[in-house]
Structure 1
Protein backbone atom coordinates (compact mmCIF):
# COMPACT_ATOMS: atom_id res chain seq x y z
CA UNK A 1 0.00 0.00 0.00
CA UNK A 2 1.14 3.53 -0.75
CA UNK A 3 1.34 5.09 2.72
CA UNK A 4 2.34 8.52 1.42
CA UNK A 5 -1.25 9.16 0.29
CA UNK A 6 -2.66 8.60 3.78
CA UNK A 7 -4.38 11.44 5.64
CA UNK A 8 -3.04 12.66 8.96
CA UNK A 9 -3.25 9.65 11.29
CA UNK A 10 -2.34 9.18 14.95
CA UNK A 11 -2.39 5.92 16.86
CA UNK A 12 -3.79 6.64 20.32
CA UNK A 13 -4.11 4.86 23.61
CA UNK A 14 -5.59 5.98 26.91
CA UNK A 15 -5.40 4.66 30.45
CA UNK A 16 -7.98 5.43 33.10
CA UNK A 17 -8.32 5.55 36.85
CA UNK A 18 -10.79 2.66 37.04
CA UNK A 19 -13.82 4.85 37.76
CA UNK A 20 -17.02 4.63 35.72
CA UNK A 21 -16.96 6.74 33.63
CA UNK A 22 -13.16 6.83 33.71
CA UNK A 23 -10.94 9.80 34.38
CA UNK A 24 -7.83 9.82 32.22
CA UNK A 25 -4.45 9.13 33.82
CA UNK A 26 -2.39 8.72 30.64
CA UNK A 27 -2.79 9.61 26.97
CA UNK A 28 -0.45 8.80 24.09
CA UNK A 29 -0.76 9.86 20.45
CA UNK A 30 1.75 8.55 17.91
CA UNK A 31 1.71 9.93 14.34
CA UNK A 32 2.11 7.63 11.34
CA UNK A 33 4.14 9.29 8.57
CA UNK A 34 5.18 7.63 5.31
CA UNK A 35 4.43 4.18 6.69
CA UNK A 36 6.42 4.62 9.90
CA UNK A 37 5.64 5.46 13.51
CA UNK A 38 7.05 8.96 14.02
CA UNK A 39 8.14 8.92 17.66
CA UNK A 40 9.78 12.34 17.28
CA UNK A 41 6.32 13.94 16.96
CA UNK A 42 4.48 11.81 19.50
CA UNK A 43 2.50 13.22 22.38
CA UNK A 44 2.43 11.60 25.81
CA UNK A 45 0.85 12.92 28.98
CA UNK A 46 0.45 11.70 32.56
CA UNK A 47 -2.60 13.21 34.24
CA UNK A 48 -3.62 13.61 37.88
CA UNK A 49 -7.25 12.48 37.94
CA UNK A 50 -9.92 14.26 40.01
CA UNK A 51 -10.87 10.92 41.60
CA UNK A 52 -8.35 8.43 43.02
CA UNK A 53 -6.96 5.60 40.92
CA UNK A 54 -8.59 2.35 41.99
CA UNK A 55 -6.33 -0.48 43.22
CA UNK A 56 -7.44 -2.66 40.29
CA UNK A 57 -6.50 -0.05 37.69
CA UNK A 58 -3.17 0.64 39.42
CA UNK A 59 -2.31 -3.08 39.32
CA UNK A 60 -2.87 -3.10 35.55
CA UNK A 61 -0.92 -0.04 34.45
CA UNK A 62 1.16 0.77 37.51
CA UNK A 63 0.03 4.40 37.66
CA UNK A 64 -0.73 4.90 41.34
CA UNK A 65 -2.03 8.01 43.02
CA UNK A 66 1.49 8.62 44.36
CA UNK A 67 3.03 8.34 40.88
CA UNK A 68 0.51 10.84 39.49
CA UNK A 69 0.51 13.25 42.43
CA UNK A 70 2.64 15.89 40.68
CA UNK A 71 1.18 15.43 37.19
CA UNK A 72 -1.01 18.14 35.67
CA UNK A 73 -4.79 18.02 35.85
CA UNK A 74 -6.63 17.34 32.61
CA UNK A 75 -7.67 20.97 32.15
CA UNK A 76 -3.99 21.95 32.09
CA UNK A 77 -3.12 19.75 29.09
CA UNK A 78 -6.45 19.33 27.28
CA UNK A 79 -5.64 22.02 24.70
CA UNK A 80 -2.33 20.31 23.86
CA UNK A 81 -4.09 17.00 23.26
CA UNK A 82 -6.82 18.68 21.21
CA UNK A 83 -4.26 20.49 19.05
CA UNK A 84 -2.33 17.30 18.27
CA UNK A 85 -5.48 15.33 17.42
CA UNK A 86 -7.18 18.08 15.42
CA UNK A 87 -8.03 17.42 11.76
CA UNK A 88 -6.78 13.84 11.98
CA UNK A 89 -7.82 10.24 11.84
CA UNK A 90 -7.13 8.20 14.95
CA UNK A 91 -6.37 4.50 15.29
CA UNK A 92 -6.67 2.38 18.43
CA UNK A 93 -7.17 -1.22 19.44
CA UNK A 94 -10.86 -1.58 20.28
CA UNK A 95 -11.05 1.93 18.91
CA UNK A 96 -14.60 2.83 19.97
CA UNK A 97 -13.46 2.77 23.61
CA UNK A 98 -10.61 5.26 23.14
CA UNK A 99 -12.81 7.38 20.88
CA UNK A 100 -15.62 7.48 23.45
CA UNK A 101 -13.30 8.37 26.36
CA UNK A 102 -11.42 11.04 24.41
CA UNK A 103 -14.66 12.54 23.11
CA UNK A 104 -16.00 12.78 26.66
CA UNK A 105 -12.88 14.69 27.71
CA UNK A 106 -12.67 16.81 24.51
CA UNK A 107 -16.29 17.80 23.81
CA UNK A 108 -15.44 20.06 20.84
CA UNK A 109 -13.16 17.49 19.16
CA UNK A 110 -14.25 15.12 16.42
CA UNK A 111 -11.74 12.97 14.50
CA UNK A 112 -11.95 12.67 10.74
CA UNK A 113 -12.19 8.91 11.22
CA UNK A 114 -11.51 6.02 13.61
CA UNK A 115 -9.52 2.96 12.56
CA UNK A 116 -9.93 -0.02 14.88
CA UNK A 117 -7.12 -2.60 14.78
CA UNK A 118 -9.36 -5.12 16.55
CA UNK A 119 -11.94 -4.93 13.76
CA UNK A 120 -9.17 -4.86 11.14
CA UNK A 121 -7.51 -7.95 12.61
CA UNK A 122 -10.75 -9.92 12.46
CA UNK A 123 -10.99 -9.09 8.74
CA UNK A 124 -7.29 -9.71 8.07
CA UNK A 125 -6.72 -12.83 10.18
CA UNK A 126 -10.04 -14.72 10.36
CA UNK A 127 -10.49 -17.59 12.82
CA UNK A 128 -7.83 -16.65 15.34
CA UNK A 129 -8.68 -17.89 18.85
CA UNK A 130 -8.22 -14.40 20.31
CA UNK A 131 -8.02 -10.83 19.04
CA UNK A 132 -6.68 -9.22 22.19
CA UNK A 133 -3.62 -7.04 21.70
CA UNK A 134 -1.25 -9.54 23.31
CA UNK A 135 -2.57 -12.40 21.17
CA UNK A 136 -2.25 -10.36 17.98
CA UNK A 137 1.27 -9.24 18.82
CA UNK A 138 2.20 -12.89 19.33
CA UNK A 139 0.57 -13.83 16.01
CA UNK A 140 1.99 -10.98 13.90
CA UNK A 141 5.31 -10.58 15.74
CA UNK A 142 5.98 -6.95 14.73
CA UNK A 143 9.30 -5.35 15.57
CA UNK A 144 8.91 -3.82 19.03
CA UNK A 145 12.60 -3.30 19.77
CA UNK A 146 12.08 0.48 19.79
CA UNK A 147 8.94 0.40 21.92
CA UNK A 148 8.99 2.54 25.09
CA UNK A 149 10.53 0.68 28.01
CA UNK A 150 7.50 1.23 30.26
CA UNK A 151 5.88 -2.01 29.02
CA UNK A 152 2.36 -3.23 28.29
CA UNK A 153 -0.71 -1.45 29.61
CA UNK A 154 1.04 1.90 29.50
CA UNK A 155 -0.34 4.23 26.84
CA UNK A 156 2.98 4.97 25.14
CA UNK A 157 3.89 1.31 24.78
CA UNK A 158 0.44 0.22 23.66
CA UNK A 159 0.19 3.02 21.08
CA UNK A 160 3.56 2.00 19.63
CA UNK A 161 2.62 -1.69 19.57
CA UNK A 162 -0.75 -0.91 17.97
CA UNK A 163 0.99 1.23 15.34
CA UNK A 164 3.30 -1.64 14.39
CA UNK A 165 0.34 -4.01 14.26
CA UNK A 166 -1.58 -1.62 12.01
CA UNK A 167 1.37 -1.20 9.64
CA UNK A 168 1.83 -4.97 9.41
CA UNK A 169 -1.81 -5.46 8.50
CA UNK A 170 -1.79 -2.78 5.80
CA UNK A 171 0.29 -5.15 3.64
CA UNK A 172 -2.97 -7.06 3.08
CA UNK A 173 -4.75 -4.06 1.51
CA UNK A 174 -4.10 -2.20 -1.72
CA UNK A 175 -5.73 1.15 -0.99
CA UNK A 176 -6.68 3.43 1.88
CA UNK A 177 -10.37 2.98 1.02
CA UNK A 178 -10.06 -0.80 1.37
CA UNK A 179 -8.38 -0.34 4.74
CA UNK A 180 -11.13 2.00 5.90
CA UNK A 181 -13.84 -0.44 4.80
CA UNK A 182 -12.23 -3.18 6.90
CA UNK A 183 -11.16 -1.13 9.91
CA UNK A 184 -13.80 1.53 10.72
CA UNK A 185 -16.68 0.29 12.88
CA UNK A 186 -20.14 1.23 11.62
CA UNK A 187 -21.43 4.43 13.16
CA UNK A 188 -18.02 5.88 13.97
CA UNK A 189 -16.46 8.82 12.12
CA UNK A 190 -15.02 7.81 8.75
CA UNK A 191 -17.22 4.75 8.26
CA UNK A 192 -18.17 4.27 4.58
CA UNK A 193 -21.76 5.19 3.85
CA UNK A 194 -23.94 2.55 2.21
CA UNK A 195 -22.95 2.25 -1.43
CA UNK A 196 -19.47 3.70 -0.85
CA UNK A 197 -17.72 0.48 0.15
CA UNK A 198 -15.04 -0.60 -2.35
CA UNK A 199 -16.09 -3.50 -4.55
CA UNK A 200 -14.31 -5.87 -6.91
CA UNK A 201 -16.12 -4.40 -9.92
Structure 2
Protein backbone atom coordinates (compact mmCIF):
# COMPACT_ATOMS: atom_id res chain seq x y z
CA UNK A 1 0.00 0.00 0.00
CA UNK A 2 1.35 3.41 -1.01
CA UNK A 3 1.04 6.04 1.73
CA UNK A 4 2.29 9.62 1.56
CA UNK A 5 2.71 11.07 5.04
CA UNK A 6 3.28 14.59 6.36
CA UNK A 7 3.80 14.98 10.09
CA UNK A 8 2.57 18.21 11.64
CA UNK A 9 4.73 19.32 14.56
CA UNK A 10 4.06 21.75 17.39
CA UNK A 11 6.49 22.64 20.17
CA UNK A 12 6.07 24.24 23.56
CA UNK A 13 9.29 25.75 24.82
CA UNK A 14 10.89 27.20 27.94
CA UNK A 15 13.19 29.72 26.25
CA UNK A 16 15.18 30.50 23.12
CA UNK A 17 18.12 28.11 23.45
CA UNK A 18 18.38 25.21 21.00
CA UNK A 19 17.34 22.62 23.59
CA UNK A 20 14.65 24.64 25.41
CA UNK A 21 11.78 22.35 24.33
CA UNK A 22 9.43 21.14 27.06
CA UNK A 23 6.77 19.43 24.91
CA UNK A 24 6.49 18.10 21.37
CA UNK A 25 3.18 17.20 19.75
CA UNK A 26 2.41 15.68 16.37
CA UNK A 27 -0.46 14.79 14.07
CA UNK A 28 -0.13 12.97 10.74
CA UNK A 29 -1.87 13.86 7.48
CA UNK A 30 -1.83 11.04 4.91
CA UNK A 31 -2.82 10.21 1.35
CA UNK A 32 -3.41 6.51 0.66
CA UNK A 33 -2.91 5.16 -2.86
CA UNK A 34 -3.09 8.67 -4.30
CA UNK A 35 -6.46 9.38 -2.66
CA UNK A 36 -7.50 12.57 -0.88
CA UNK A 37 -5.44 13.77 2.04
CA UNK A 38 -6.91 13.03 5.46
CA UNK A 39 -6.12 13.51 9.14
CA UNK A 40 -5.59 10.07 10.65
CA UNK A 41 -5.29 8.77 14.21
CA UNK A 42 -1.49 9.07 14.38
CA UNK A 43 -1.10 11.81 16.97
CA UNK A 44 0.52 12.26 20.33
CA UNK A 45 2.60 14.39 22.65
CA UNK A 46 5.64 13.89 24.83
CA UNK A 47 7.13 16.02 27.57
CA UNK A 48 10.79 16.98 27.14
CA UNK A 49 13.27 17.95 29.84
CA UNK A 50 14.79 21.28 28.77
CA UNK A 51 17.63 20.87 31.24
CA UNK A 52 16.82 24.03 33.15
CA UNK A 53 13.79 25.61 34.86
CA UNK A 54 10.87 26.69 32.69
CA UNK A 55 10.50 30.48 32.72
CA UNK A 56 7.37 32.01 34.26
CA UNK A 57 6.72 33.84 30.97
CA UNK A 58 6.44 30.60 28.99
CA UNK A 59 4.73 28.75 31.82
CA UNK A 60 1.99 31.38 31.70
CA UNK A 61 1.32 30.43 28.07
CA UNK A 62 1.36 26.63 28.11
CA UNK A 63 1.01 25.91 31.89
CA UNK A 64 3.66 23.16 31.79
CA UNK A 65 5.35 22.91 35.19
CA UNK A 66 8.90 21.86 35.99
CA UNK A 67 7.49 18.84 37.81
CA UNK A 68 5.86 17.61 34.57
CA UNK A 69 9.18 17.41 32.72
CA UNK A 70 11.58 16.45 35.51
CA UNK A 71 11.77 12.78 34.49
CA UNK A 72 11.27 13.33 30.75
CA UNK A 73 13.98 12.62 28.14
CA UNK A 74 16.20 15.37 26.78
CA UNK A 75 15.47 16.96 23.39
CA UNK A 76 18.40 15.40 21.53
CA UNK A 77 17.23 11.92 22.59
CA UNK A 78 13.49 12.19 21.95
CA UNK A 79 13.35 14.49 18.91
CA UNK A 80 14.48 12.00 16.21
CA UNK A 81 11.93 9.40 17.33
CA UNK A 82 9.11 11.86 16.53
CA UNK A 83 10.63 13.80 13.64
CA UNK A 84 11.81 10.68 11.78
CA UNK A 85 9.01 8.11 12.09
CA UNK A 86 9.75 4.57 10.96
CA UNK A 87 7.59 4.79 7.83
CA UNK A 88 9.14 8.14 6.84
CA UNK A 89 7.57 11.42 5.78
CA UNK A 90 7.59 13.46 2.58
CA UNK A 91 7.67 16.62 4.72
CA UNK A 92 7.23 18.05 8.18
CA UNK A 93 4.79 20.89 8.76
CA UNK A 94 4.04 23.53 11.36
CA UNK A 95 2.16 26.80 11.65
CA UNK A 96 4.82 29.52 11.35
CA UNK A 97 7.31 26.74 10.83
CA UNK A 98 10.34 29.00 11.26
CA UNK A 99 9.80 28.71 15.01
CA UNK A 100 9.85 24.89 15.01
CA UNK A 101 12.80 24.84 12.64
CA UNK A 102 14.91 26.70 15.22
CA UNK A 103 14.75 23.58 17.39
CA UNK A 104 14.08 20.83 14.80
CA UNK A 105 17.43 21.08 13.02
CA UNK A 106 18.28 19.01 9.91
CA UNK A 107 20.38 16.72 12.09
CA UNK A 108 17.27 15.84 14.09
CA UNK A 109 14.83 15.74 11.17
CA UNK A 110 16.99 13.83 8.72
CA UNK A 111 16.81 16.80 6.36
CA UNK A 112 13.08 16.55 5.66
CA UNK A 113 11.54 19.55 3.84
CA UNK A 114 9.09 21.79 5.69
CA UNK A 115 5.65 23.19 4.98
CA UNK A 116 4.68 26.39 6.77
CA UNK A 117 0.89 26.41 7.04
CA UNK A 118 0.89 30.15 7.84
CA UNK A 119 2.69 31.04 4.61
CA UNK A 120 0.55 28.54 2.72
CA UNK A 121 -2.71 29.92 4.13
CA UNK A 122 -1.75 33.39 2.89
CA UNK A 123 -1.61 31.95 -0.63
CA UNK A 124 -4.55 29.54 -0.55
CA UNK A 125 -7.06 31.66 1.39
CA UNK A 126 -5.92 35.29 0.90
CA UNK A 127 -9.37 36.78 1.54
CA UNK A 128 -9.57 35.58 5.15
CA UNK A 129 -9.37 38.17 7.91
CA UNK A 130 -6.64 36.56 9.99
CA UNK A 131 -4.11 33.76 9.64
CA UNK A 132 -3.20 32.60 13.14
CA UNK A 133 -3.80 28.91 13.80
CA UNK A 134 -6.85 29.56 15.97
CA UNK A 135 -8.26 32.31 13.74
CA UNK A 136 -8.13 29.90 10.80
CA UNK A 137 -9.85 27.31 12.95
CA UNK A 138 -12.87 29.47 13.73
CA UNK A 139 -13.09 31.28 10.41
CA UNK A 140 -12.97 28.04 8.44
CA UNK A 141 -14.47 25.51 10.88
CA UNK A 142 -12.67 22.57 9.16
CA UNK A 143 -14.77 19.49 8.54
CA UNK A 144 -14.11 16.65 10.97
CA UNK A 145 -12.22 18.73 13.54
CA UNK A 146 -13.31 17.47 16.96
CA UNK A 147 -13.47 20.56 19.14
CA UNK A 148 -12.34 18.85 22.34
CA UNK A 149 -9.27 17.19 20.76
CA UNK A 150 -8.11 20.65 19.69
CA UNK A 151 -8.06 21.90 23.28
CA UNK A 152 -6.44 23.32 25.26
CA UNK A 153 -4.83 25.80 22.90
CA UNK A 154 -1.09 26.42 23.36
CA UNK A 155 -0.41 22.77 24.08
CA UNK A 156 1.54 20.75 21.58
CA UNK A 157 -0.81 17.98 20.47
CA UNK A 158 -4.03 20.06 20.31
CA UNK A 159 -2.29 22.77 18.29
CA UNK A 160 -0.76 20.21 15.92
CA UNK A 161 -4.20 18.60 15.52
CA UNK A 162 -5.78 21.92 14.53
CA UNK A 163 -2.93 22.76 12.15
CA UNK A 164 -3.28 19.35 10.50
CA UNK A 165 -6.86 20.13 9.46
CA UNK A 166 -5.72 23.32 7.74
CA UNK A 167 -2.93 21.39 6.04
CA UNK A 168 -5.29 18.65 4.89
CA UNK A 169 -7.56 21.18 3.21
CA UNK A 170 -4.63 22.97 1.56
CA UNK A 171 -3.28 19.67 0.22
CA UNK A 172 -6.65 18.89 -1.30
CA UNK A 173 -6.51 22.23 -3.15
CA UNK A 174 -2.86 22.20 -4.27
CA UNK A 175 0.16 19.91 -4.17
CA UNK A 176 2.57 19.22 -1.34
CA UNK A 177 5.37 20.28 -3.67
CA UNK A 178 3.74 23.68 -4.17
CA UNK A 179 3.31 24.18 -0.42
CA UNK A 180 6.96 23.28 0.16
CA UNK A 181 8.04 25.79 -2.52
CA UNK A 182 5.91 28.60 -1.02
CA UNK A 183 7.28 27.78 2.43
CA UNK A 184 10.85 28.50 1.30
CA UNK A 185 9.88 32.10 0.45
CA UNK A 186 8.84 34.97 2.72
CA UNK A 187 5.13 35.27 3.43
CA UNK A 188 3.05 36.82 0.62
CA UNK A 189 0.79 39.11 2.63
CA UNK A 190 -2.65 39.78 1.08
CA UNK A 191 -2.78 43.22 2.70
CA UNK A 192 -0.40 45.75 4.21
CA UNK A 193 -0.19 44.95 7.91
CA UNK A 194 1.29 48.10 9.43
CA UNK A 195 1.83 51.81 8.86
CA UNK A 196 -0.32 54.39 7.08
CA UNK A 197 -1.47 51.88 4.42
CA UNK A 198 -2.47 49.23 6.94
CA UNK A 199 -5.34 47.01 5.82
CA UNK A 200 -5.16 47.97 2.16
CA UNK A 201 -4.74 45.42 -0.62
CA UNK A 202 -1.47 45.79 -2.51
CA UNK A 203 -3.17 46.81 -5.75
CA UNK A 204 -4.61 49.84 -3.90
CA UNK A 205 -1.19 51.17 -2.91
CA UNK A 206 0.43 54.04 -4.81
CA UNK A 207 3.74 53.47 -6.52
CA UNK A 208 5.56 55.80 -4.11
CA UNK A 209 4.15 53.95 -1.11
CA UNK A 210 5.09 50.61 -2.65
CA UNK A 211 8.65 51.80 -3.12
CA UNK A 212 8.81 52.64 0.58
CA UNK A 213 7.26 49.32 1.62
CA UNK A 214 9.75 47.45 -0.57
CA UNK A 215 12.45 48.86 1.74
CA UNK A 216 10.64 47.91 4.94
CA UNK A 217 12.54 46.16 7.72
CA UNK A 218 9.98 43.33 7.76
CA UNK A 219 10.93 40.64 5.25
CA UNK A 220 7.33 39.62 4.48
CA UNK A 221 6.33 43.22 3.83
CA UNK A 222 9.34 43.77 1.56
CA UNK A 223 8.65 40.59 -0.37
CA UNK A 224 4.94 41.35 -0.80
CA UNK A 225 5.63 44.90 -2.01
CA UNK A 226 8.27 43.61 -4.41
CA UNK A 227 5.82 41.10 -5.88
CA UNK A 228 3.28 43.87 -6.51
CA UNK A 229 5.95 46.03 -8.15
CA UNK A 230 6.86 43.11 -10.41
CA UNK A 231 3.19 42.56 -11.26
CA UNK A 232 3.02 46.20 -12.38
CA UNK A 233 6.22 45.84 -14.38
CA UNK A 234 8.13 48.21 -12.11
CA UNK A 235 11.72 47.82 -10.98
CA UNK A 236 12.31 46.80 -7.39
CA UNK A 237 14.04 49.65 -5.52
CA UNK A 238 17.45 49.07 -4.02
CA UNK A 239 17.74 49.32 -0.26
CA UNK A 240 19.37 52.63 0.71
CA UNK A 241 22.94 52.57 1.95
CA UNK A 242 23.23 53.26 5.69
CA UNK A 243 24.30 56.74 6.68
CA UNK A 244 27.72 57.16 8.28
CA UNK A 245 26.26 58.05 11.67
CA UNK A 246 23.04 56.03 11.46
CA UNK A 247 21.71 55.24 14.91
CA UNK A 248 21.17 51.62 15.90
CA UNK A 249 17.91 50.36 17.43
Instruction: Tell me which interval the TM-score lies in, with the shorter structure as reference length.
Output: 0.7 to 0.9
Determine helix, strand or coil for the equivalent of 1:131: coil
The residue aligned with 1:186 is 185
Greater RCO (Cα-Cα under 8 Å, separation 6 or more) = 1
Distance 2:26 2:167 in 1: 14
Bigger radius of gyration among the two: 2
Deviation at residue 139 of structure 1 after TM alignment: 1.3
2:19/2:75 contact within 8 Å kept: no
Runs of 4+ that moved beyond 6 A: none
Distance 2:171 2:14 in 1: 33
The residue aligned with 1:96 is 98
Q: Which residues of structure 1 form unaligned runs of 5+?
A: 188-201
2:80/2:109 contact within 8 Å kept: no
Query: Is 1:16 aligned to 2:18, yes or no?
Result: no
Deviation at residue 180 of structure 1 after TM alignment: 3.7
The residue aligned with 1:47 is 48
1:6/1:176 contact within 8 Å kept: no
The residue aligned with 1:64 is 65
Q: Deviations over 1:33-77 (max 9, x none)?
A: 2222222x3342111211111111111111111222232333442
1:89/1:111 contact within 8 Å kept: no
After TM superposition, the structure 1 = structure 2 runs for residues 1-201 of structure 1, keeping only pairs within 5 Å, are 7-21=4-18, 23-34=20-31, 35-39=37-41, 41-84=42-85, 88-103=90-105, 107=107, 109-142=109-142, 143-145=144-146, 148=149, 150-173=151-174, 175-181=175-181, 183-186=182-185
Matched pairs, number: 179
**TM-align CA RMSD:** 2.8
Distance 1:113 1:107 in 2: 12
